[in-house]
Amino acid sequence: MIGLISATAAGASARDRLATAWPGRTRVYDGPVGRAVERAFAECEQLVCFLATGATVRLLAPLLAGKTTDPGVVCVDEAGRYAVSLLGGHGGGANSLASEVASVLAATPVITTATDATGVPGLDTLGLPVEGALAAVTRAVLDGAPVALRADAVWPLPPLPPNVTRGGADTVTPGGATLLLTDRVVPLGPTDVVLRPPSLVVGVGAGRGVSGDEVYDVVRDALRDAGLSVLSVAELATVDAKADEPGIVEAAGRLGVPVRTYPAGVLAGVAVPNPSDAPLAAVGTPSVAEAAALTAGRGGELLVQKRKSSPEGRPAMATCAVVRRPPRGRLAVVGLGPGARDLLTPRATAELRRASVLVGLDQYVDQIRDLLRPGTRVIESGLGHEEERARTAVAETRAGHAVALIGSGDAGVYAMASPALAEAADDIEVVGVPGVTAALAAAAILGAPLGHDHVSISLSDLHTPWEVIERRVRAAAEADIVVTFYNPRSRGRDWQLPKALELLAEHRTATTPVGVVRNASRPDGTSRLTTLARLDPATVDMMTVVTVGNTATREIAGRMVTPRGYRWQSEGAR
Ligand code: SAH
């Protein structure tokens, strides 16, 4: 819950705008501000104070308990011009809250935590649990001091600045900061930080009615005796029949991880060192803990064989086994939209900043270079070379990195996603970020040409035989579907567009509206509305899409409109 506190009429009006925008998320605290702040501080995860920073600091000071427990606090000034992240920038979420508040109030977010201000990711924002001298090592990363990264394996981390260098134990400068990335319990020096990768999968088996404590204890003891950190546990794995076993669910909750389950038939097929008859009789597989850990562990090493719980004075009801799974690189396939920066989605921006390796066509890289974090490795190439780019992106991901493969519009539409995924196996994680494709960017400029069924057809016969393209154009013509042509015409390919329009004209009148949009959303963008008979193909090039209406499409007030359908319209009129 976000507590809202204000003192003046202007503050109250900004406060009400926020309360209206986020009804279920906010609670207004009325009355004297001192008391209101105190109550909100105790009851809410976050506060927005429509008060001066000085006044807020004085009210908060006696309430502060610690970085990990205090709520995040944002201050908004009297004129509603700034949303200042005052307290709990990372842990309390005040930095992102300041940005959200700013966007509702049309204010400017003010964020002063060093890592956010410089574009260097804070070590506590990498999405991995972290232990050790966080402040000292973050400081060293920011100051450009040498920091040694010692990792057991390559994990898909966001980019780290160039002063963070990979090296073995011997490259560590005495007294210099060290960033460890390991699931092992290791001694930490005063300038060491350890990040915990999600590398351990714990298989668990349990009798009905087992307690959460018994499951948790056997897991904790197994990890401790093997010298492994409980913070690196990624998930608990078990058999389907135990998916809702309360003791397992409770232990997973305490570990903060999900429970993954498999059918007994799958587990029965896994070769394990310690099969037994009891689970075979109960759930139909000779192994639950080891088999589930090995299955979820993606071919990783069995570090801890089956181990039984040891409750006092009772027979054991829980077993566990631990597998270290190999890291998987992360490939984000990111659509950049048609060109304008404000048509690039926030998610795409986040993925560009999340990647340590960026692969793309040089002209697209230029579009977003300013968004990249320091330390991002850019692999760019010129026109053509699609397959090579796709292969490079997948190879970098297989090496364990966080990679972004970029494309204009939507990266899955006549673009890089399919060649990349055709190369990829399940040894990498893939995340797709949709982008505004040219057909949609053009349609928004033209009016509403896609109001009913529509297709996109590429007229490039470089990779597709013309007969196939022609068959699809004919089918669209016969089915009276609105058509958007991508790759409509280039210097070497000039007869395809006239031919395609001719095929459509066999089923549509000469006055059918046709929209021609060049460089949609870019500074030199142009658009024209014409007809099938009047379109001059010479005005079309590779920066253009051509949208041809169906038999119901009309020009209305200079806009291209395809009706939703006569039935819908008459129902609406009733
Ligand atoms: N992945 C891209 C399409 C790549 S194919 C997307 O989803 O938009 C390249 C073709 O897309 C170009 O020949 C042109 O027909 C079209 N195109 C891409 N961007 C465009 C823009 N901003 N304006 C008009 N057409 C565009």
174 pLDDT exceeds 70? no
Q: Which two tokens stand for residue 230?
A: 């409980």
574 pLDDT exceeds 50? no
**Minimum mean pLDDT range among 22-26, 245-249, 341-345, 482-486:** 22-26
Cα 497 to ligand 1 centre (Å): 16
Q: What is the DSSP string of 78-106?
A: TTS-EEEEEE-SSTT-HHHHHHHHHHHHT
CA dihedral in degrees (550, 551, 553, 558; nearest 10)?
Answer: 110
pLDDT at 537: 92
pLDDT at 122: 76
Distance linking the first and last C-alpha atoms of the chain: 45
CA nearest ligand 1 atom 4, residue:
414
pLDDT at 66: 87
Choosing among 3.40.190.10, 3.60.21.10, 3.30.530.20, 3.40.1010.10, the CATH entry for 330-436 is 3.40.1010.10
- 554 ligand 1 Cβ < 6 A: no
The alpha carbon of residue 505 and the mean position of all alpha carbons in its chain are separated, in whole angstroms, by 44
Cα 543 to ligand 1 centre (Å): 6
**Minimum mean pLDDT range among 153-167, 269-283, 360-374, 433-447:** 153-167
pLDDT at 143: 83
Domain ranges, ordered by start, for the chain? 2-112, 123-195, 200-324, 330-436, 439-561
Percent of all residues in the chain with a pLDDT value above 90, rounded to a whole number: 79
Question: Crossing angle, helix 496-505 and helix 466-478, to 10 degrees?
Answer: 30
Which is the closest atom of ligand 1 to the Cα of 338? 22
User: Which of the four pLDDT bands, split at 50, 70 and 90, describes residue 573?
Assistant: very low
- 545 ligand 1 Cβ < 6 A: yes
- 339 ligand 1 Cβ < 6 A: yes
Instruction: Summarize the confidence of residues 547-572 as an average pLDDT.
Output: 84
For the 439-561 domain, the top CATH level (class) is alpha beta
Test site for ligand 1: of 342, 414, 519, most ligand atoms within 8 A of the Cβ: 414
567 pLDDT exceeds 70? no
Contact (CB, 8 A) for 457 and 487: no
pLDDT at 27: 94
552 pLDDT exceeds 80? yes
Residue found under tokens 């270290």: 324
569 pLDDT exceeds 60? no
Which is the closest atom of ligand 1 to the Cα of 436? 7
CA nearest ligand 1 atom 25, residue:
544
Q: Which of 502, 549, 503 is nearest to 530 (CA)?
A: 549
Q: Residue 203, exposed/middle/buried by CB under 10 A (0-12, 13-18, 19+)?
A: buried
443 pLDDT exceeds 70? yes
Q: Nearest 5°: phi and psi at 450?
A: -105, 25
For the 200-324 domain, the top CATH level (class) is alpha beta
- 413 ligand 1 Cβ < 6 A: yes
CA nearest ligand 1 atom 2, residue:
409
CA nearest ligand 1 atom 9, residue:
487
Contact (CB, 8 A) for 124 and 95: no
Neighbours of 226 (CB within 10 A): 16
Test site for ligand 1: of 539, 544, 547, most ligand atoms within 8 A of the Cβ: 544
Question: Sign of the C-alpha dihedral, residues 267, 268, 272, 274?
Answer: positive
- 364 ligand 1 Cβ < 6 A: no
What number does CATH give the domain 2-112?
A: 3.40.50.11220
Residue 541: strand pairing partners:
none
Mean pLDDT score of the chain: 92
Instruction: Summarize the confidence of residues 87-112 as an average pLDDT.
Output: 90
Which is the closest atom of ligand 1 to the Cα of 412? 1
520 pLDDT exceeds 60? yes
Strand pairing class (26-29; 2-6): parallel
User: Which of the four pLDDT bands, split at 50, 70 and 90, describes residue 92?
Assistant: confident
- 517 ligand 1 Cβ < 6 A: yes
Neighbours of 281 (CB within 10 A): 9
Percent of all residues in the chain with a pLDDT value above 70, rounded to a whole number: 97
- 416 ligand 1 Cβ < 6 A: no
Contact (CB, 8 A) for 261 and 242: yes
- pTM for the model: 0.81
Contact (CB, 8 A) for 566 and 574: no
Cα 500 to ligand 1 centre (Å): 18
- 407 ligand 1 Cβ < 6 A: yes
Neighbours of 40 (CB within 10 A): 24
CA nearest ligand 1 atom 18, residue:
438
**Minimum mean pLDDT range among 99-103, 110-114, 274-278, 327-331:** 110-114
